[in-house]
Chain A
């Protein structure tokens, strides 16, 4: 038996800056996880399809465009449509503090801002997956 934590790292929306997402993807790989990286400009359907087909344990969204309040609800909706609404979703990127409670109310498990220690992210994922 060979169980690995599988994480989807997706960049929905139109901003073209994926350095943060790549740093996170690499850190998670280095922590022994299997990271499916989708690349830039993902639609909510693309994110949900990838999460479904890859049977991931957790979904990470990197959003720097400011469109998180528009994108996140649509992604959660697409996940629900596919009966995987229970998947833990976390968001990283530029998220104003005021929006964090709203995102969490939608069902986002955690929001990580710039400067987040990758080790705390690794710890967080272990925690949600093993819960």
Chain B
């Protein structure tokens, strides 16, 4: 395939077009990914997540610049939300990454979430795989401004950096439980603000609650992602003024060393691969179902539910029934 060869040879326009195909889920994109898949698995994928306005984009821009001093190439995938009303999106992350544009060692791609709820887009994983195959040793994935439930970035990243801004105060614990559990490194950005120390303290308390279950008795609610041997550091940065970036890069490197020496890198790869196969299984199944059930029978089932003749679960089961006999 011509375009994949060109992209592998360093043609950035070819890469950009491949990314579009992959993002759109075209047959050409699927074919390219299938061809290139054996080359994947080498990149360190770093997820950057956190509340809207915490300064993720600015931090990603500065972080990329810092990492580029050690790495020949780096890719950024920045996800912004798609409007549920129009289906359009305003992708403004480049706005905060201006000083990267002159660096041809950096490839930055904006993605709209296209209705996917997990904080990244449906195709973000595939886009990351493609960049990995092309040979980017580090890939930064910036999620949409994320809340509690948008933890999907943990299914594609090796290292998750949670970015918070000062002023969250006591709400931190309740509000951020979901995200804090997937964080490998926590960053309090805008640390030049006076409330920063308070936020750090609140986060420290919350972390303690997660890792030791505090004084509430036995750790019955021990979350899945907490791993012995890595203590989630809480760092402070002021990205706009380039403060604290060196320490953040060091923490990311330390986390990678930890992943590799502890065997967790392999484990994560296994978990990610499983999640991915399951996702595709679901996708294929959905397509199969749409094809086999058909819009007519589906509509009839909906009518039956509306007339209260059947409950939704039974209606769905009956739609599936003819498939079992095949």
Chain A residues proximal to chain B, CB less than 8 Å: 1-4, 6, 25-26, 28-39, 43, 45-46, 49-50, 52-55, 82-84
Chain B residues proximal to chain A, CB less than 8 Å: 12-13, 16-17, 19-20, 23-26, 82-83, 85-92, 94-95, 98, 101-102, 107-110, 112, 114, 122
Contact of A54 among B16, B88, B92 (CB under 8 A): B16
* Contact yes or no, B90 A53, CB < 8 A: no
Contact of B107 among A25, A29, A34, A53 (CB under 8 A): A53
Q: Least Cβ distance of B315 to chain A in Å? A: 29
Contact of A2 among B19, B89, B95, B114 (CB under 8 A): B114
- Give 20 CB contacts A-B under 8 Å: A1-B24, A2-B25, A2-B114, A4-B24, A4-B87, A30-B85, A31-B88, A34-B82, A34-B88, A34-B89, A34-B112, A38-B95, A45-B101, A46-B101, A52-B13, A52-B16, A53-B16, A53-B107, A54-B110, A55-B20
* Contact yes or no, B90 A25, CB < 8 A: yes
Contact of A35 among B87, B90, B122 (CB under 8 A): B90
Which of A6, A45, A46, A54 counts the most chain B CB atoms within 10 A? A54
Q: What are the residues of chain A within 8 A of B17 when measuring CB–CB?
A: 55
Chain A-chain B contacts (Cβ-Cβ < 8 Å), number: 88
* Contact yes or no, A33 B88, CB < 8 A: yes
* Contact yes or no, A32 B87, CB < 8 A: yes
For the complex, give the distance between the alpha carbons of A31 and B86 in Å.
6
Nearest-neighbor residue (CB-CB) of A83 within chain B: B13
* Contact yes or no, B86 A55, CB < 8 A: no
Contact of B101 among A26, A49, A82 (CB under 8 A): A49
* Contact yes or no, B16 A29, CB < 8 A: no
Dominant secondary structure of chain B at its interface with chain A: mixed
Q: What are the residues of chain A within 8 A of B85 when measuring CB–CB?
A: 30
Dominant secondary structure of chain A at its interface with chain B: mixed
* Contact yes or no, A1 B94, CB < 8 A: no
Q: Least Cβ distance of B290 to chain A in Å? A: 14
What 4 pairs across the A-B complex have the smallest Cβ distances?
A29-B88, A39-B95, A55-B16, A46-B101
Which of A29, A32, A84 counts the most chain B CB atoms within 10 A? A29
Q: What are the residues of chain A within 8 A of B101 when measuring CB–CB?
A: 43, 45-46, 49-50
Q: Least Cβ distance of B151 to chain A in Å? A: 23
For the complex, give the distance between the alpha carbons of A2 and B89 in Å.
14
* Contact yes or no, A29 B90, CB < 8 A: yes
For the complex, give the distance between the alpha carbons of A131 and B25 in Å.
22
For the complex, give the distance between the alpha carbons of A39 and B108 in Å.
15
Q: Least Cβ distance of B261 to chain A in Å? A: 35
Q: Least Cβ distance of A51 to chain B in Å? A: 9
* Contact yes or no, A53 B86, CB < 8 A: no
For the complex, give the distance between the alpha carbons of A33 and B114 in Å.
11
Q: What are the residues of chain A within 8 A of B86 when measuring CB–CB?
A: 29-32
Q: Least Cβ distance of B178 to chain A in Å? A: 27
Nearest-neighbor residue (CB-CB) of B122 within chain A: A2
Q: What are the residues of chain B within 8 A of A1 when measuring CB–CB?
A: 24-26
Q: Least Cβ distance of A55 to chain B in Å? A: 4
For the complex, give the distance between the alpha carbons of A3 and B85 in Å.
17
For the complex, give the distance between the alpha carbons of A37 and B98 in Å.
12
Q: Least Cβ distance of B286 to chain A in Å? A: 14
Q: What are the residues of chain A within 8 A of B122 when measuring CB–CB?
A: 2
